[in-house]
């Protein structure tokens, strides 16, 4: 499924002036086995336009493989569709200091700027379950009261937040089946999470096999 081009254009306009670059479309069928909601693309993704195609993406593909799924079976999106960056100094091989762009988490303003896009996807993609990856994806949908460390691996029938014409978040009338788990990149920083990710994966696999 592809979002309307006017909506992508609106997203690009709404995020102008923020330290972000590129624009990555969500990808996957209209009737996927599940929908994945990440944080924001990184350098690799804005280079090739494919969500989760970098280092975190490789981990995510392993997660999907464990579920018996491939990229083509799922709809992949994220809270923000451009890469949020910050400039930092980096010493090159010659020992000279260079400025380089680094990834950073999106700000709430950037999340609001791209909220209409994910709202559209949630309404139009017919996914039986929405798997959120990390706190940014989770909290975009259910607010700050939930934390991935507390609710990961649970099946939650829950309303989701969408933006109104005043850029204020409102709860949906419909409830959606949500399954929060960790962001695939989180195991790079905290290898202890590997076991928790594996047990979430098993629960999700059991659920998929019952469908
Ligand atoms: N993290 C995300 O949330 N999305 C990507 O596409 C890559 C990393």
Mean pLDDT value across residues 181-198: 96
CB within 8 Å of 39: residues ≥ 6 apart: 78, 79, 80, 105, 106, 133, 134, 136, 137, 183
What is the residue with the minimal CA distance to atom 4 of ligand 1?
Answer: 41
Q: How confident is the model at residue 193 (pLDDT cuts 50, 70, 90)?
A: very high
In the three-class reduction of DSSP (H, G, I as helix; E, B as strand; rest coil), residue 29 is classed as coil
Residues with CB under 6 A from ligand 1: 38-42, 45, 51-52, 54, 56-57, 78
Distance 95 CA to ligand 1 centre (A): 31
Burial class of residue 182 in the structure, from the number of CB atoms within 10 Å of its CB (0-12 exposed, 13-18 middle, 19+ buried)? buried
Mean pLDDT value across residues 191-195: 96
Distance 199 CA to ligand 1 centre (A): 22
What the block records as the tokens of 156 is: 């939650």
Distance 209 CA to ligand 1 centre (A): 26
- Res 209: pLDDT: 97
Question: In ligand 1, which atom is closest to the CA atom of 79?
Answer: 3
Q: Which residues pair with 197 in a beta bridge?
A: none
Mean pLDDT value across residues 150-178: 98
Distance 51 CA to ligand 1 centre (A): 6
Distance 203 CA to ligand 1 centre (A): 23
Q: How confident is the model at residue 48 (pLDDT cuts 50, 70, 90)?
A: very high
The beta strands (E) that lie in the chain are given as: 20-21, 34-38, 74-78, 83-91, 97-103, 130-133, 156-163, 169-181
- Res 208: pLDDT: 98
In the three-class reduction of DSSP (H, G, I as helix; E, B as strand; rest coil), residue 95 is classed as coil
What the block records as the tokens of 78 is: 């994220």
Question: What's the rounded Cα separation, in Å, for the pair 24 and 41?
Answer: 7
CB within 8 Å of 110: residues ≥ 6 apart: 15, 18, 20, 40, 80, 82, 84
Let me know: does 122 contact 160? Beta carbons within 8 Å. Answer: yes
What the block records as the tokens of 185 is: 């990149």
Average pLDDT taken over every residue of the chain: 97
Q: How confident is the model at residue 99 (pLDDT cuts 50, 70, 90)?
A: very high
Pocket test for ligand 1, best of 185, 186, 188 (most atoms within 8 A of CB): 185
Question: In ligand 1, which atom is closest to the CA atom of 50?
Answer: 6
pTM passes above 0.95: yes
Distance 40 CA to ligand 1 centre (A): 5
Question: What's the rounded Cα separation, in Å, for the pair 203 and 211?
Answer: 13
């Amino acid at each position: 499924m592809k979002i309307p081009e006017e909506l992508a254009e609106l997203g690009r306009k709404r995020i102008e002036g923020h330290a972000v670059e590129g624009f990555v479309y969500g990808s996957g069928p209209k009737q996927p086995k599940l929908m994945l909601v990440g944080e924001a693309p990184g350098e690799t993704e804005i280079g090739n336009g494919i969500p989760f195609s970098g280092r975190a993406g490789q981990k995510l593909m392993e997660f999907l493989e464990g579920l018996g799924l491939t990229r083509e079976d799922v709809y992949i999106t994220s809270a923000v569709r451009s890469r949020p960056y910050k400039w930092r100094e980096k010493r090159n091989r010659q020992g000279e200091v260079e400025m380089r762009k680094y990834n950073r988490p999106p700000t709430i303003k950037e999340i609001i700027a791209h909220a209409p896009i994910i709202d559209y996807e949630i309404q139009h993609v017919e996914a039986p379950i929405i798997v959120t990856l990390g706190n940014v994806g989770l909290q975009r949908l259910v607010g700050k009261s939930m934390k991935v460390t507390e609710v990961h691996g649970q099946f939650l029938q829950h309303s989701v937040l969408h933006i109104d014409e005043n850029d204020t978040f409102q709860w949906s009338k419909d409830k959606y089946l949500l399954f929060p788990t960790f962001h695939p990149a989180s195991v790079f920083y905290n290898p202890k999470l590997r076991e928790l990710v594996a047990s979430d994966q098993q629960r999700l696999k059991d659920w998929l096999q019952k469908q």
